[in-house]
Amino acid sequence: MRRCCLILVPSSKKFVSHSSRRTTACFSTIGFDLPDWFRNPDGDASCAGLDDQEDIFVLPTELNPSDEQSQNRNSRPLSIRNAFPASHEDAEFEADVDEVSRILSARFASPEAIVIAMDCYSVRVTGHLVDKILTRFSNDWVAAFGFFMWAGTQGGYCHCADSYDLMVDILGKSKQFDLMWGLINQMVEVGGLVSLMTMTKVMRRLAGASRWTDAIDAFHRMDRFGVVKDTKAMNVLLDTLCKERSVKRARGAFQELRGTIPPDESSFNTLVHGWCKARMLKEALETMEEMNQHGFSPSVVTYTSLLEAYCMEKDFQTVYSLLDEMHKRRCPPNVITYTIVMHALGKAGRTREALDMFDKLKEDGVAPDASFYNSLIYILGRAGRLEDAYSVVEEMHKTGIPSNVTTFNTLISAACDHSQAENALKLLVKMEEQSCKPDIKTYTPLLKLCCKKQWVKTLLFLVCHMFRKDISPDFSTYTLLVSWLCRNGKVAQSCLFLEEMISKGFTPKLETFDLVMKKLEKRNLQIMYKKIHMLRTHITNLRHTNSFQ
């Protein structure tokens, strides 16, 4: 979210300037009804551009799944503003974070331009500040790398290995591989900062960009950077290739390396899991035979991979047979096994059988964990049994297992799916109260809800709230915002998100471009039309070029 503070400006239908840096269209929130429990008790201008008259949304803190209409006018607000700092140092840190974020939110042409701009400001650089900013701008490599370069020149500060690793991952995610390798070389020059964690990030990002051969080459080059090529490192490579849809390459790498690097049980389990994910069960069973030949008996991990594959095929007869076989071989299912089977049954609409898994888990003396409970909550929510889902949450807490981000995400999604808008937003308040950090999956159903309800103000608030929580939109979120704003007459704002989406390295679908251009043409907005048309042409040419590489 490059410019949250620019997007959230007072209602108007014209272009306005902000800090003399760029101009942007503003959202008009006039004429949209919001629930009564969205109020502004005392004003909050913490997000630049949001004036004191705009609503800050106050949500009731008591969660009542059976009372969608309940109101509480004395509850505290879900605020964009961070909690009050505990000390003067904390206050200074938050001020520095806000100042740097404001600077980086301008659209700089290059990282070098950011270095020049940052030299005009006085900010105390610490490792905590660097990690905070890199996390916040993790989807904006220009801003992140520019700040990283500038911070490295400040007296009294040196980048640590963790900060380097974070920057390496950001560059890899943005496919800036030349810069990524340059940073790796810098880490070597500084002395001993490259670790297996560093190379894991490198291999994962290369494989994620379908550069599987480069990922394998990165493994072979590890010893040049002081990283040992041992069994653990080989397993990382195998896992990376399997997770990035290249289990056959993983198998080839394994056959090449096992003569010099001894495999372990994890090596074979990784390959079995890769074959199962690719739904190549014949190859998975052959790898299990090979595993036996090397003296490793299939474990609960091996069987769980097989069970997951049959669950994907919805072959539950075989699933039940494998569960029986595991018991006979004295390799009883664990909580992960039961979670996978229960979840698959629930998704297949076999709710009664899914719930029976809870009884079988207890019969085996297996203790449920957070993932198991979250899956159970998902199944109940999907079936519309929200009160039962909340009861499961209470049972979790009684057993000493706190709600985590997946718990909240599952409940929020279920509330949105069943038109319990108020409860969905109350859950976001509850997350904040329990210091549970949301992620992009928290906001996606809420943003869809706002689109469905035509709540523009709420949508804007959530977008800014995401930014303050250091969460960047993903491809589907950007597509949702662009399409919905365009269809609902906010075409200028839709264009802003479309441009930002591209600047973050996402490639919009051509139909997304066409939707926006059609609306621009209808409104005779020729300048904006030409700009979007140029972006569309550039993306089309880029796709055409890549198809021949």
pLDDT of residue 242: 95
Output the pLDDT for position 544: 60
Q: What is the pLDDT of residue 464?
A: 83
For position 28, what pLDDT does the model report? 31
Q: What is the pLDDT of residues 175-201, one digit of tens each?
A: 999 999 999 999 999 988 999 999 999
Q: Given this model, what pLDDT does residue 149 score?
A: 96
Q: Quote the pLDDT of residue 61.
A: 38
pLDDT at 107: 75
**CA angle (316, 320, 325) in 5-degree steps:** 140
Q: Which of 71, 145, 134 is nearest to 110 (CA)?
A: 145
Widest distance between CA atoms in the chain: 73
Q: Where are the domains of the chain?
A: 85-159, 473-549
pLDDT of residue 50: 32
Q: How far apart are the first and last CA of the chain?
A: 31
pLDDT digits (tens, 9 = 90+) for 82-120: 555 567 777 888 888 888 988 888 878 899 999 999 988
Other C-beta atoms closer than 10 Å to the C-beta of 231 total 16
The ranges of the chain with pLDDT < 70 are: 1-86, 543-549
CA nearest 307: which of 330, 283, 355, 339? 339
- In this prediction, residue 93 carries a pLDDT of 85
Using the structure block, give the residue that is written with the tokens 């519309």. Answer: 384
pTM of this structure: 0.74
Q: SS3 sequence, 314-369?
A: CCHHHHHHHHHHHHHCCCCCCHHHHHHHHHHHHHCCCHHHHHHHHHHHHHCCCCCC
